[in-house]
Structure 1
Amino acid sequence: MKRSFYFSFILIFLTQWAFSQTFTMEEVGKFSFPSELTSSATGEKIAWAMNEQGKRNVYMAEGPAFTAKKLTDFNEDDGQEISSLQFSPDGNWLVFVRGGDHGGGNASSTVNAQNLPILPNVEIWKINLESGKVETIVEADNPSIGKDHQLLYVKAGQVWTVDLASSEKPVQLFEIKGNVNELSYSPSGDLAFVVNRGTHSMIGIFRNKRLPIQWVNPSFHRDSNIAWSEDGQKIAYIRRPGGRGAAFPELEPRHSPWEIWVADMNTGDSEKLWEAPETLAASYIYPFFAFSGNDHIAYLSYEDGWQHLYAIDINSKETKLLTPGDYMVEQIKQSPNGEKLIFSANTGSEQEDLDRRHIGTVDILSGKLTWETSGEGIEAYPVWVGNSGKMAFFSADAQRSHLVAIKSGNDTKLLGESIIPSDFPQDQLVTPKQVKFTAPDGTTVYGQLFEKEGGNSEKPGVIFVHGGPQRQMLLGWSYMDYYSNTYAINQYLANLGFVVLSVNYRLGIGYGYEFHKPSGAYYRGAVEYQDVKAGGEFLASLPQVNGNKIGIYGGSYGGYLTALALARDSDLFKVGVDIHGVHDLDGRYSLSANYEQPSDIDKARQVAWESSPISDLSTWTSPVLFIHADDDRNVNVSQTVDLIRRFEELDKPYKSIIIPGDTHHWMKWSNMVKVDQATADFLKKHLMD
């Protein structure tokens, strides 16, 4: 009897020991994250930025060996991001911006996450690839490289220039009314630009300081998205309505028209080639727009219900769908000869590919579509390398975080594997499982379930809700830094003993137009909250989960939905962490004073109020931790300040953390780890201890 007791005791001890936490938040937070992948127009050079625990540097590799080489030496967790990385046309220089927060509003404003007495600058830097010299050019943002090493940038809405190869000071290229916000060189060296004049925007051509600006079919509209033909004789662009239109309460979305035009630079004539069908799905304009090398214009549209590539023949005006199927296309680049497109998409031979990304290529003229990658990985942000069909892209899976990969024919090579720290717990991470459940209105909702094998028979559960909301969480490491971080948190929570469900709720991408743009969402009724609640109920119903121990956390839009969940359903969601969430939506309707339909605006504001977490504070009983950085450029810190004041006036308990000086994206790595650890500790305290 005594022997049986000791055997049982040892078995329980060994089981608990095997399921104990096996890595720290700091260790899993050391995931590698590349960004800004770019390739040279000549030769086989690629470059990218790499974030290594807040130390952001530029790397380069060159064919045929493609050995990763670190070019800069920024060795401090200082919160200074690297963006706008690009080669000069001859491939001899690299240019980048250091500083700012280009994932948020006011991107060019300095970030002082270290809280230094003297503010850092947002600066344009250059790297001489022959000498290896790295130096600052100017305090500015938004660089663009033209002919003869001419660097352009926009400052205070005006275009400035400086020679990369000289030490001369920058000079203003020309003076113009309004704010320039787009620059594009023709193959012959003419500079096209878009100038915003408030109510309308126009495309101008600058040739030299002696000739007047040439306007391309000026009108009372908004023209943008400059695309030159290969010979520089034509320019394509997108035209949208000007002004603000009649003020109206957006109780329901309406069609937003847009058109594709092409102008002949020799005659000055412009012609409308295409206009979006008058449907909601066709209303949405996406960034990719290119003039191909065979008299076609390639563009991205939602017109068939999925985000797909199309091509229009500028001579016949016939359009064709290049990427048919129930999947979305993003992150597109055109080949150097203008004949092919490369992109990332959520499709493949397995159902799980709906929640992954793979690389595809398509020939614009023939429409031949080739899938370059497949399997259980996540591949994103592809670029062409040279002229022989080689390509580079980001590559990850459920365990290994993103690295740059080179694909040549059937061979794929990972670059820079040695940068992954030895204590990064890659082999201890779980593979999330794709699950789906049904919202009360019948909508099918997908999610990823994180769970470590073994442990208690009834584990606590956590719902994670992403931000955006135009995002999709994947069955592996995200190609966005913010969501690689939350993926790391979910892995940590699973390792701790939670069952974690990441919910891809409506308003997110990857599941078609109706899912992405549902009626009655956000300030129009928050219909997407149905998906979050359904996810909580699904998680609570799992046999291995204790339905009385369900928590929730999320940031940004996920913070909004976390607050909504705690305010409306504290009985289901026992605890939550609301990270820089939105709480008051009434401000969506600050319409002009001459609005003549007060009954409609009153109704719209009432719906917005009822869609806000602050409208349900009386039923909010669950413990909550509020976290916000006070230099947030995406969600103003006032959203959390106001909610905390309401809590205090109602004598409701709460915990809070303010991060001085940082932004929405935790530019300082140590701040990111602090927030992550606080999130996990708060959930653990209320659901495990």
Structure 2
Amino acid sequence: MFKQTLLAFVAGVAFIGALDAAAAPSASVTPPAKLAAFMDYPFIDALTAPESGNRVAWIETRKGLRNIWIAEAPDFHPRRLTDGTADDGMELAALNFSPDGKILAWSRGGGEGNGWANGMPPPNPASAVEQPHKEIWISAAGGAPVRLVQDGEAPLLSSTGQLVYLKEGQVWTADVTGKEKPKRLFYDRGRVGQLAWSPDGSRLAFVSRRGDHSFIGVYSGPEHPLTWLAPATAFDGNPVWSPDGQRIAFSRMAGIAGPLASSLVAAPNPFSIWVGSASDGTASAVWRSPTNLNGSFPEVPGGLFLMWAAGDRLTFRAEMDGWPHLYSLPAAGGEASLLTPGPFMVEHVAMTPDRRALLFSANSGSAEGDTDRRHIFRVAIDHPGPTPLTPGTGLEWTPAPLSDGRVAYVSSTASTTLHVTIAGADGRGAHPLAPPEGDYAANGLVAPKPVTFTAADGLLVHGQLFMPPGGKAKHPALVFVHGGPPRQMLLGWSYMDYYTHAYAMNQYLASRGFVVLSVNYRLGIGYGRAFQHAEKAGLAGDFEYQDVVAGARFLQALPRVDPTRLGIWGGSYGGLLTAQALARNSDIFKAGVDFHGVHDWSLTPGLASRPQRYEQGDYDAMMKSAFESSPEAAIAGWKSPVLLIHGDDDRNVRFDQTTDIARRLAAQGTPFEELILPNEIHEFLRYDSWVKADTATVRFLEDKLKP
């Protein structure tokens, strides 16, 4: 193998001695001045509304305390439904109403996971002596929450009030009155997901995942065998019912293609939309995407957004013109009509209760910098022409249409933290459900500026620049690189918890005298499909790293930046790029903080195990490229100090990525420090973990980059 595995065996005694090169950050976790104030922001997620009932609910997380809030007509005065008072790391998720709005269900506990993490127990970031569980909770008629199920996730309520959920890849059901014990609804050989109730609540559609293919199944009751919709050697998913409950629309992609597959060559991944009978399983394709790259299944966050609209039409998202847009077509088949033309990305899609319009967020608008914001739009389901509902310089996302025609959504600005807003169907009369907290900006926020710069190969790259207030003195500077990589940093607070935290940290670092540039490098979203699916990026060549270097050169040319005191920080894929910067350009980057980064692509699960679907030659070439595109391939040039931060229960980036890089840095005497968080996952679940990580980050960067 090309990989330099010999390093692990070179002078074991020397390695043990080199461990002294690794130092733990200061034992003190007392935060630097005002850091606690910058971390005292609310994050609002999972905003949801029922089909009827005129109410909304959402999840708020603040300083590690997670709670569900609810607001109801006529005054929509928000009230806290739960009583979370501990920073215990027990995540709340899967919030959803019954269609009539009378019951609210959610899950408690758990965290992120990949295929290789299936079967792992729920995270225990607080190191509790009792093993945590994934629980299902409900609130009936806005009453006190009740734990319904001790072990389960992904609850879903029907129009009749029946609750189903997932447990170990199977479908279970629980009596919402608590009078009967939960039981498995049916047996399936596959791993079940993507549950969808029929409108009348009598049948349940689901996806049965079976390794290299998946089926759409329908459960019609204990007296009937499962119905399979046109089973094939394909990945079927995204089931959605017709309003009359007789048909199901779903998506289809090719199954794993055996030895023809190669992750080094950009190949089209076309998809089709099918409609089938829920009774007998017969189905046929009603639309097929083009077979070019733009016709590939949309891999932007959120996926297809397949919905069944009024007039027997289907709506979905695709990238056929190079941008993630909404399309509409007759359910009987025909041409797909583009509803949202223009150079922007559609996200956060919801259908109005009458099924005649779609509400969505997009990085479009008339204000300067709207490419790096989100606004809410409305578009009819049968003809193009979106109408903006929230113009301006704020940010708005996750529209939740109410049964009376109004719309709720989450709002923020560069300085105003997240809050829920309600507006009329035309966007007028917008008002927050509770006044946004006005004292956060007093902590010293700056308005980030949209900037662009050019990479070595000529690609235009966007970023947000945080300038410390006042003075002409030269400042140390930092490049921030987000994770994902299908993410986009914004000109304000983010709709993702991880990046809301990153925004707060960039603001805090600016308040401490750092000039900070957040780089939206290629592979990210918001700038078109070609940008997101760039050639020779990632393990196929690492071309995105040149965008990071371009950002560094941009910073070094600023009059208020000391070009000799430049650092970098980032998490996940941003941790990978931080490691790339330190390994390949320690002459530019003098220090870095690497949160749970990938350091050797060839250690990635699924690659390292040499899957049989690759020809030997393709596999060897892929593994060679994977290692050569990794920071560890250039580790001999890594001279600058780094702080490595990782939770050892990470289920997105395996902990051995940090173990491996620490051994290699120690072996060659490169200075590094470690902050390891036992039992934490990728997106730290505890506020206490973020306090420790942020405190160590600030102290490390100031120690290395300030005189």
Partner of 2:267: 254
Please report how far the alpha carbon of residue 279 of structure 1 lies from its aligned counterpart in structure 2 after TM superposition: 1.2
Partner of 2:129: 117
Partner of 2:184: 172
Instruction: Tell me which moved more, 601-610 or 503-512.
Output: 601-610
| Selected match of 2:644 from 607, 626, 632 | 626
Q: Would you say the 8 A contact 1:306–1:326 is kept in 2?
A: yes
Q: Deviations for 1:615-636, whole angstroms, at most 9, x for unmatched residues? A: 1111111111111111111111
Letter in 1 for 2:599: H
Distance 1:28 1:104 in 2: 32
Q: Would you say the 8 A contact 1:27–1:425 is kept in 2?
A: no
The aligned runs of 1:135-284 (5 Å cut-off) are 135-188=147-200, 189-265=202-278, 268-284=281-297
Partner of 1:13: none
Partner of 1:14: none
| Selected match of 2:76 from 66, 89, 92 | 66
Letter in 2 for 1:141: E
The structure-2 alpha-carbon separation of the partners of 1:571 and 1:290, relative to structure 1 and needing over 3 Å to count, comes to: same
Distance 1:134 1:60 in 2: 16
Please report how far the alpha carbon of residue 372 of structure 1 lies from its aligned counterpart in structure 2 after TM superposition: 0.5
The aligned runs of 1:555-634 (5 Å cut-off) are 555-587=571-603, 589-590=607-608, 592=610, 598-634=616-652
Partner of 1:17: none
Distance 1:30 1:584 in 2: 35
Partner of 2:541: 525
Partner of 2:325: 308
Q: Would you say the 8 A contact 1:311–1:319 is kept in 2?
A: yes
Please report how far the alpha carbon of residue 157 of structure 1 lies from its aligned counterpart in structure 2 after TM superposition: 2.1
Q: Would you say the 8 A contact 1:489–1:680 is kept in 2?
A: no
Q: Are 2:66 and 1:56 equivalent residues in the alignment?
A: yes
The structure-2 alpha-carbon separation of the partners of 1:83 and 1:102, relative to structure 1 and needing over 3 Å to count, comes to: farther
Q: Would you say the 8 A contact 1:296–1:311 is kept in 2?
A: yes
Q: Deviations for 1:13-43, whole angstroms, at most 9, x for unmatched residues? A: xxxxxxxx99611111011101111102212
The structure-2 alpha-carbon separation of the partners of 1:456 and 1:673, relative to structure 1 and needing over 3 Å to count, comes to: farther
The structure-2 alpha-carbon separation of the partners of 1:628 and 1:267, relative to structure 1 and needing over 3 Å to count, comes to: closer
Partner of 1:443: 459
Partner of 1:79: 89
Distance 1:541 1:104 in 2: 41
The structure-2 alpha-carbon separation of the partners of 1:576 and 1:109, relative to structure 1 and needing over 3 Å to count, comes to: same
Q: Are 2:351 and 1:331 equivalent residues in the alignment?
A: no
Q: Deviations for 1:328-383, whole angstroms, at most 9, x for unmatched residues? A: 00111111221111111000012300000000111102334211001111111111
Q: Would you say the 8 A contact 1:22–1:495 is kept in 2?
A: no
Q: Would you say the 8 A contact 1:101–1:109 is kept in 2?
A: no
Instruction: Tell me which moved more, 135-144 or 98-107.
Output: 98-107
Q: Would you say the 8 A contact 1:400–1:426 is kept in 2?
A: no
The structure-2 alpha-carbon separation of the partners of 1:130 and 1:511, relative to structure 1 and needing over 3 Å to count, comes to: closer
Please report how far the alpha carbon of residue 608 of structure 1 lies from its aligned counterpart in structure 2 after TM superposition: 1.5
Distance 1:658 1:149 in 2: 45
Letter in 1 for 2:196: S
The structure-2 alpha-carbon separation of the partners of 1:339 and 1:491, relative to structure 1 and needing over 3 Å to count, comes to: same
| Selected match of 1:353 from 349, 354, 370 | 370
Instruction: Tell me which moved more, 46-55 or 229-238.
Output: 229-238
- Paired residue secondary structure (2:458): coil
Partner of 2:307: 290
Distance 2:132 2:218 in 1: 35
| Selected match of 1:487 from 484, 488, 503 | 503
- Paired residue secondary structure (1:463): strand
Partner of 2:10: none
Please report how far the alpha carbon of residue 643 of structure 1 lies from its aligned counterpart in structure 2 after TM superposition: 0.5
When normalised by structure 1's length, the TM-score is 0.93
Q: Deviations for 1:240-290, whole angstroms, at most 9, x for unmatched residues? A: 122443254422211112111111346754221111111112213324111
Q: Would you say the 8 A contact 2:37–2:443 is kept in 1?
A: no
When normalised by structure 2's length, the TM-score is 0.91
Q: Deviations for 1:532-552, whole angstroms, at most 9, x for unmatched residues? A: 000001100101111111110
Distance 1:655 1:192 in 2: 50
Q: Are 2:563 and 1:547 equivalent residues in the alignment?
A: yes
For structure 1, which runs of at least 5 residues remain unmatched after alignment? 1-20
Q: Would you say the 8 A contact 2:309–2:356 is kept in 1?
A: yes
Letter in 1 for 2:305: F
Q: Would you say the 8 A contact 2:349–2:360 is kept in 1?
A: yes
Partner of 2:671: 653
| Selected match of 1:343 from 360, 375, 391 | 360
Distance 2:172 2:332 in 1: 37
Distance 1:261 1:65 in 2: 43
- Paired residue secondary structure (2:657): helix
| Selected match of 1:95 from 105, 108, 119 | 105
Letter in 2 for 1:558: G
Q: Would you say the 8 A contact 2:133–2:150 is kept in 1?
A: no
- Paired residue secondary structure (1:351): coil
Partner of 1:516: 532
Q: Would you say the 8 A contact 2:69–2:82 is kept in 1?
A: yes
Sequence identity percentage: 42
Instruction: Tell me which moved more, 551-560 or 669-678.
Output: 669-678
Letter in 2 for 1:389: G
The structure-2 alpha-carbon separation of the partners of 1:649 and 1:203, relative to structure 1 and needing over 3 Å to count, comes to: same
Letter in 2 for 1:289: L
Letter in 1 for 2:505: I
Q: Deviations for 1:85-144, whole angstroms, at most 9, x for unmatched residues? A: 111222111111011114766488412111111122110011122543433433211111
Distance 1:266 1:599 in 2: 47
For structure 2, which runs of at least 5 residues remain unmatched after alignment? 1-30
Letter in 2 for 1:264: S
Identify which of structures 1 and 2 has the higher relative contact order when contacts are C-alpha pairs closer than 8 Å and 6+ apart: 2
Q: Would you say the 8 A contact 2:379–2:387 is kept in 1?
A: yes
Partner of 1:506: 522
The structure-2 alpha-carbon separation of the partners of 1:618 and 1:349, relative to structure 1 and needing over 3 Å to count, comes to: same
Please report how far the alpha carbon of residue 684 of structure 1 lies from its aligned counterpart in structure 2 after TM superposition: 0.9
Instruction: Tell me which moved more, 516-525 or 231-240.
Output: 231-240
Distance 1:263 1:593 in 2: 34
- Paired residue secondary structure (2:322): coil
Q: Deviations for 1:472-527, whole angstroms, at most 9, x for unmatched residues? A: 00000111110010111100111111110000000000000111100000100000
Q: Are 2:493 and 1:477 equivalent residues in the alignment?
A: yes
Q: Pairwise CA RMSD of aligned residues?
A: 2.0
Letter in 2 for 1:65: D
Instruction: Tell me which moved more, 458-467 or 154-163.
Output: 154-163
- Paired residue secondary structure (1:616): helix
- Paired residue secondary structure (1:678): helix
Aligned residues: 666
